[in-house]
Structure 1
Amino acid sequence: MPIKTTPLLSTYFFLSNYLYPLAFISPRVRTGWKEKCLQKKPLPTDILIQAASVGESKLALLVAEKLLDQYPGLKITISTNTKQGKDILSQANNLHQIVYFPLDSSKWQKKFLKALKPKLVLILETEIWPSFFYQLKKQKIPFAIINGRMRSKTFSHYLFAQKSLAPLFPDLILAISPKDSLCFKTLFPQSQITTIPNLKFELLDLNTEPLDYVKNPLSRYFPPQKNILVLGSVRKEEEEQIFWLIQNYLQAAPQAIIALFPRHMERIPYWQNKLKDFKYILRSQLTRQVKTGEIILWDKIGELGFAYALAKRAFVGGSLQPLGGQNFLEPLAQGIIPFVGPYLDNFLWVGEELFAAQLVIRVKDEKELLQALLRPQKENRKKIYLQAKEILALQKGGLNLVLKQLAPLLRFYSS
């Protein structure tokens, strides 16, 4: 049966086919441009997993490992949109290949899927690419959204195009909450939709206690027992607030050390300019022990968890402005109570138990954050870890449910 297209969808296809060169303006999109335009074709694969960036890439590796345990010999390809995502994926050695996800032009998506010939496509979290979905439908490739979530603002945008999107429905959607399931059901009434525990709980190794100082690869740079403040996953929209915080925190605590992690690497030049009157050093240039009062501007991927393990205090960004928040479970797994702002739409699935136990501290703005950071904190990492472990252990099980739900779509497999 032909796929029904609307004028809105036809217009999108036309514009995406002819205006895609304008995307080159964006530094993030420009990275891997030749691969995104399929000048180098990918190899055929059994399963394609699409993971937008860092967080989704970590989940993709988790799903891929579980699939390979249960279905040995599967050829799994993971695609990503960003260099940061590719850096995370490159840590795996059991993948068929790692590729950049092409621009969402029907021209490139058609070539992409024709080259890959996947028997199943899995999409992490909230990625609805009309050209990609259209080509999946046209080429009769089954596909599923895994760990699906939908912010209210994102849902309102998609709702505008619901009639155009509905015929492009995924075969299966595994959403992380009843609210997210309802959003997806509204957009894709024909999809099979099930609610599962969030896979991000699976990323927490609850059997591994917080990393000891002597085992931390960053310990050679940071003297023990220092007052280290980690500002993690700082987003562009909250940079001015964080800069104000840095100024005032160092005035009140001049012996502190600040580890500043921008969420996106292209913001490093901005911070270099902002910090020119401070004592700061790029992480990539760090070859000695850090001095008190110094700021380390992190320009390397994959070390945030190690930094949390050294910190006395930690703030998790993306939460001082309405951006949905970032993963505050990571510092908690290292036995440190994270501070977050008021905007945590992406983490409503965590529930209120951690907040009620004061294992996560929510503040309303940067001024309240400064006051909270300057107050004495609990420093018994093991006790904090064990309290959090008890609460979080009840939230696991999502990965096994994913494999169970995917089983009908994996009938092509033969050992």
Structure 2
Amino acid sequence: MELKLYRAGWALALPAVRMLLARRGRGAGMRFLEERLGRDWQARAPGALWFHCASVGEVMTACPLVRRLHARGAAPLLVTTNTPTGARTATRVLPGAVGHAYLPVDTRRRVARFLDRFRPRALLVCETEIWPELYGACHRRGIPVVLFNARLTERTLRAPAWLARLYAQALAPVRGVLARSEGDAERFRALGAHRVQVVGNLKWAGCPADPAGPPPSAVPYWAAVSTHEDEELRLARIERMLPSDAPVLALVPRHPERGPAIAARLRAAGFGVAVRSRGEPPAERIWLVDTLGEALRFMAHAELVFMGGSLVPAGGHNLLEPARLGRAVVVGPHMEDFAQETEDLVEAGAVVQVDDEGEAGRTIARLLADAAARRALGQAAAAFVAARGETVLEAYLAELHAARLPLDRAPA
């Protein structure tokens, strides 16, 4: 019954999905639309060990695992994504021998056509994606499925009853759910998954990224990265508390398209703002970085990094990125999405967590006035992340072998 409802929903939604894909795929060429709609695929990777990564974040998470398997001779390897940005990231960070295709939308005919084309020997799904048609077709064809770095939100558990039952049916034959945390494991079990175990967060391992490039400015700055609405004003108030000779604040919002609204609100509150997208240098105390793809560069050269989404209840963002770069990192109280990682880094003396805006201001002022303390904090962070990353990566490889997946090479 649940699967019939799901299929009926797809049948009704397909015209709108086609239009949505056409709009999202502008600039990506016809390949995106053709492959997402299951018409044809350019890649050739029969018998591949197949990784599915929804978009950029999942590609970066899977990257160290894919690279390690490639280095150990696993072939052929295929990565699918849902988005053009995910495809570009895969091309940039993964070995050239790794094939790429777009995953088709989850209908019987399109999934069957994909599986006929690639005949994968196993499917490894990064993080959250649960596609009932895809999982069911893999089960019927004897293709083992494993979820790795698996995470699940409370919102998924609150899905309508028929959809929750469908998720449970899809997960029932899965070979393994390798969860990033105990909380995620508990949620997968509550959803009906079997063979669930906690391995850890693969984001610890990281992925060799493009060089950060030269500093964006000769003017010293501290960076608040992935900020959210209402957070920028709080950080601007902290900047106002600092001495006049302190580094300026580079605000790097989570969604750069919010730039005009952020600038208008800060100016209305009496703050001077330089806007990077207009080519303005950091002549003001606040430098709004409303440009795409520069977060890494700004983190790499910052005197200090404040991780956004943590002064407001947004769950926080990936503090492992600046920690891996050896930056001094400060986070607010709302790090629910990275709770275990934050706890581990704080206990190791590698990150500072504050309770509120006032404490954030005092901590940032203290660290900006003490280069030795910033350096020690950054060095501790980089060392801790490197050691934990290798441990977690090897643990995932061990669990994939224990799941009896055909990791090495496709049968001749």
> Smaller-chain TM-score range?
0.7 to 0.9
Give the C-alpha shift of residue 361 in structure 1: 3.2
Alignment of 1:341-352 (within 5 A): 341-350=332-341, 352=343
CA distance in 2, matches of 1:327, 1:351: 9
Please name the residue that 1:127 is paired with.
129
Give the C-alpha shift of residue 123 in structure 1: 0.5
Classify 1:194/1:320 alpha carbon distance in 2 versus 1 (closer, same or farther; 3 Å): same
CA distance in 1, matches of 2:21, 2:235: 27
Classify 1:249/1:177 alpha carbon distance in 2 versus 1 (closer, same or farther; 3 Å): closer
Alignment of 1:287-366 (within 5 A): 290-293=282-285, 295-301=287-293, 303-350=294-341, 352-356=343-347, 359-364=350-355
**1:200 is the counterpart of 2:200:** no
**From 150, 153, 158, the counterpart of 2:152:** 150
Q: Could you state the TM-score of these two structures normalised by the residue count of structure 1?
A: 0.79
CA distance in 2, matches of 1:274, 1:243: 7
- Stretch of structure 1 that moved more, 81-90 or 242-251: 242-251
**Matched position secondary structure for 2:52:** strand
Aligned residue type for 1:223: A
**Matched position secondary structure for 2:205:** helix
The superposition leaves residues 49-75 of structure 1 with CA deviations (integer Å, 9 ceiling, x where unpaired) of: 111222211122211111112224x12
CA distance in 2, matches of 1:316, 1:27: 32
Please name the residue that 1:180 is paired with.
184
**1:16 is the counterpart of 2:5:** no
Aligned residue type for 1:87: R
Give the C-alpha shift of residue 17 in structure 1: 3.0
Give the C-alpha shift of residue 306 in structure 1: 3.0
Does the CA-based 8 Å contact 2:323-2:329 persist in structure 1?
A: yes
Please name the residue that 1:76 is paired with.
77
**Matched position secondary structure for 2:333:** coil
CA distance in 1, matches of 2:134, 2:223: 38
Classify 1:161/1:218 alpha carbon distance in 2 versus 1 (closer, same or farther; 3 Å): same
CA distance in 2, matches of 1:107, 1:52: 21
Give the C-alpha shift of residue 244 in structure 1: 1.5
**From 268, 274, 277, the counterpart of 2:256:** 268
**From 378, 381, 388, the counterpart of 1:385:** 378
CA distance in 2, matches of 1:9, 1:178: 30
CA distance in 2, matches of 1:146, 1:158: 25
Please tell me the root mean square deviation across aligned C-alpha atoms, in Å: 3.5
CA distance in 1, matches of 2:283, 2:338: 35
Give the C-alpha shift of residue 307 in structure 1: 1.7
Please name the residue that 2:89 is paired with.
88
- Stretch of structure 1 that moved more, 119-128 or 312-321: 312-321
**Matched position secondary structure for 2:178:** strand
The superposition leaves residues 80-105 of structure 1 with CA deviations (integer Å, 9 ceiling, x where unpaired) of: 22343233212134243223333334
Give the C-alpha shift of residue 114 in structure 1: 2.9
Give the C-alpha shift of residue 275 in structure 1: 2.1
Please name the residue that 1:280 is paired with.
274
Give the C-alpha shift of residue 369 in structure 1: 4.2
CA distance in 1, matches of 2:4, 2:124: 25
The superposition leaves residues 242-287 of structure 1 with CA deviations (integer Å, 9 ceiling, x where unpaired) of: 3323543554457644433343xxx43331344266543446x75x
Give the C-alpha shift of residue 347 in structure 1: 1.5
Give the C-alpha shift of residue 374 in structure 1: 4.2
Aligned residue type for 2:222: L
Does the CA-based 8 Å contact 1:159-1:187 persist in structure 2?
A: no
Aligned residue type for 1:117: R
Give the C-alpha shift of residue 136 in structure 1: 2.2
Q: Could you state the TM-score of these two structures normalised by the residue count of structure 2?
A: 0.79
Classify 1:174/1:18 alpha carbon distance in 2 versus 1 (closer, same or farther; 3 Å): same
Please name the residue that 1:50 is paired with.
52
Classify 1:28/1:366 alpha carbon distance in 2 versus 1 (closer, same or farther; 3 Å): farther
Give the C-alpha shift of residue 230 in structure 1: 1.6
Does the CA-based 8 Å contact 2:36-2:103 persist in structure 1?
A: yes
Does the CA-based 8 Å contact 2:273-2:287 persist in structure 1?
A: yes
CA distance in 2, matches of 1:385, 1:246: 21
Does the CA-based 8 Å contact 1:353-1:391 persist in structure 2?
A: no
Alignment of 1:25-40 (within 5 A): 30-31=24-25, 34=33, 35-40=35-40
CA distance in 2, matches of 1:307, 1:387: 20
**Matched position secondary structure for 1:78:** strand
Instruction: Report how many aligned residue pairs link the two structures.
Output: 386
Please name the residue that 1:4 is paired with.
none
Classify 1:390/1:69 alpha carbon distance in 2 versus 1 (closer, same or farther; 3 Å): closer
**Matched position secondary structure for 1:103:** coil
CA distance in 1, matches of 2:358, 2:97: 46
CA distance in 1, matches of 2:49, 2:355: 43
CA distance in 1, matches of 2:382, 2:333: 24
